[in-house]
Structure 1
């Protein structure tokens, strides 16, 4: 049976869970700071990734995939890039609207498409490229004019968001590359196996850093477990969806469809953070919807 279509619902679920996780992390930056809120998604997400893996092993019944040097190179690269991207995103969110920063980070699909073609050989068709461009234009439109942003250092959050998007693009390529190196197990096992490794590496890196340089922060992260556990659950769930998508189709398709996260962020921004959207932002959302819709038509033909 052809399960390729599963990348679409998996990506939609991932985008919804990620918007919720970002909201939880943003609420934690006031007490834990940027690094502490960054660590939450990994420290509290890793146990859920292990739980997902145990369930998949129980259903699949096959042996664990073999680990190669190429797999480790891809997964470590993706893990480090994602830590950097998340920290930059949260730093930007401390200075600018939740939904607008989410939009800035979503300039990644074009970079994913280019990196995916150059590194992994993922195909690039003209219709799909146009769909990615339209959706990304919507993201750029949503970000508004940084010169009109209020507050100190208006260009700083824009740059942080843009660089964060580039790091997210590199992490997507790293994780898809790691999945593609595995030569055994079904796509569900390959995706979940890679997820467990990536979250484990990320958790280890950040715990070691905090033990060496900021032990009080590690204690504060553990003390905030009641809120953090939701960030971990939503983060692991989102990552499970992204990795399933990476196992089934090109990373550019997954990350472009993932732009619907901006719509979920828009809802959370209004409901939770009381941010109102401008006409410019609404026009950007319309372009995102058009681009994503076109991508789905192209990819399901």
Structure 2
């Protein structure tokens, strides 16, 4: 199940970098369309991903370039497309009147990922790890409401709303992204999980650049120039995205998808901690409770992963 202890620090670092990248990307989204803002992650992240992979391949751990199975590229393409679809579905949820519900339901990704990895990859988790996943998901759902008080059962009653459907679908495609990434790394003939993760990262980002870049050129050609004009900030987004994805891919290559996702949700802790200690924003009681559940979920999931 867990093939290397590196999955834990890689996942924690990935959570920090993702929170940082999200904060920087908000500046880009103010001047670009949604699709253009999404493209900068891949277009500007690709050179950094190639540089990271080459640095590891030729300087850190020199070795022959491993052979890749026939399904490697298809799984990378599936992962890239699933991530693009998931992001767009989440944005569609944001556009709905009750976007809070959409955001909350998108956080079911960890549970959906656990179920999908069990069905598609044969991964098995202990009862303690499952308890951690459930606690963590409830915690991030609470945090995603942004402190809004929701009556008991309101989320269940909102299942019929478009925002809820988009949110659940977004979580499903994010879970599929993780499963496809894990499967793609298994197609590389190497015992080095970092090498396989970085190889999958480069191919996936390259395919995402082609897919979303082609769409932008076809449907929003006026935004292409704006993407290149924003290179100063977009370059930062690309660097953080490449570093964060390298960590996520390493986690997926070395540990069950569900464990990586539930531990990665500490991103919420980092984000709120930054808001509280740096921006001096006051934490609401519901946010404290949500943070507590996220931390409890991580502890239980880690406890359940110990053999």
TM range (shorter): 0.7 to 0.9
Alignment of 1:131 with 2:114, yes or no, is no
Deviations 1:52-87 (A, max 9, x none): 111111132222232333222221111101112223
Q: 1:203 to 1:273 in 2, by over 3 A?
A: farther
The 1:3–1:250 alpha-carbon spacing in structure 2 relative to 1, beyond 3 Å, is: closer
Does structure 1 residue 221 correspond to structure 2 residue 227?
A: yes
**Aligned equivalents of 1:285 and 1:77: distance in 2?**
33
Aligned to 2:188: 182
| Structure 2 equivalent of residue 259 of structure 1 | 265
**Counting helix residues as a fraction of each chain, which structure ranks higher?**
1
> Alpha-carbon deviations, 1:108-148, whole Å to 9, x = none?
11111111111111122211111111111112222336979
2: distance between equivalents of 1:171 and 1:84?
A: 10
- 1:181 counterpart SS class: coil
Is residue 126–residue 304 contact of structure 2 (8 Å, CA) maintained in 1? Answer: no
Structure 2 CA distance for partners of 1:197 and 1:97, relative to 1, 3 Å: farther
Alignment partner of 1:280 is 2:286: yes
1:292 aligns with 2:276: no
For residues 128-177 of structure 1, what are the alpha-carbon distances to aligned partners after superposition, in whole Å with 9 as ceiling and x for unaligned? 1111111111122223369799xxxxx66555444322211110000001
Partner of 1:198: 204
What CA distance in whole angstroms lies between the structure 2 residues aligned with 1:60 and 1:167? 33
Change (3 A) 1:193 1:73: same
Q: Which moved more, 1:214-223 or 1:136-145?
A: 136-145
Given the alignment of the two structures, is residue 48 of structure 1 paired with residue 48 of structure 2, yes or no?
A: yes
The count of aligned residue pairs is 295
CA RMSD between the two structures? 3.0
> In the alignment, which residue of structure 2 is the partner of 1:166?
172
Q: Is the contact between residue 3 and residue 255 of structure 2 (CA under 8 Å) also seen in structure 1?
A: no
Asked if 1:57 is matched to 2:82, the reply is: no
Query: Given the alignment of the two structures, is residue 72 of structure 1 paired with residue 73 of structure 2, yes or no?
Result: yes
Q: What residue ranges of structure 1 are gaps of 5+ in the alignment?
A: 150-154
1:17 counterpart residue number: 17
Partner residue in 2 for 1:82: 83
Where structure 2 has 5 or more consecutive residues not aligned to the other structure, the ranges are: 155-160
CA shift in 2, pair 1:76/1:259, >3 Å: same
1:152 corresponds to which residue? none
Distance 1:160 1:231 in 2: 26
Asked if 2 retains the 8 angstrom alpha-carbon contact of 1:135 and 1:289, the reply is yes
Check 1:268–1:100 CA distance in 2 against 1; reply closer, same or farther (3 A cut).
farther
Q: Distance in 2 between matches of 1:161 and 1:274?
A: 30
Task: Compute the displacement of 1:182 (Å).
Answer: 1.6
Q: Deviation digits for residues 247-272 of structure 1, max 9, x if unmatched?
A: 11111110110010111222455589
SS at match of 2:189: coil
- In 1, are the aligned partners of 2:128 and 2:303 still within 8 Å (CA)? no
Change (3 A) 1:64 1:267: same
Larger mean CA deviation between 185-194 and 11-20 belongs to 185-194
Could you tell me which of 195, 218, 221 is aligned with 1:212?
218
Q: Deviations over 1:201-253 (max 9, x none)?
A: 00111111122222211111111111111111111111000111111111111
Distance 1:272 1:292, change over 3 A: same
Q: Comparing 187-196 with 3-12, which one deviates more in the overlay? A: 3-12
**Aligned to 1:246, which of 239, 248, 252?**
252
Matches within 5 A, 1:81-160: 81-90=82-91, 92=93, 104-144=105-145, 159-160=165-166
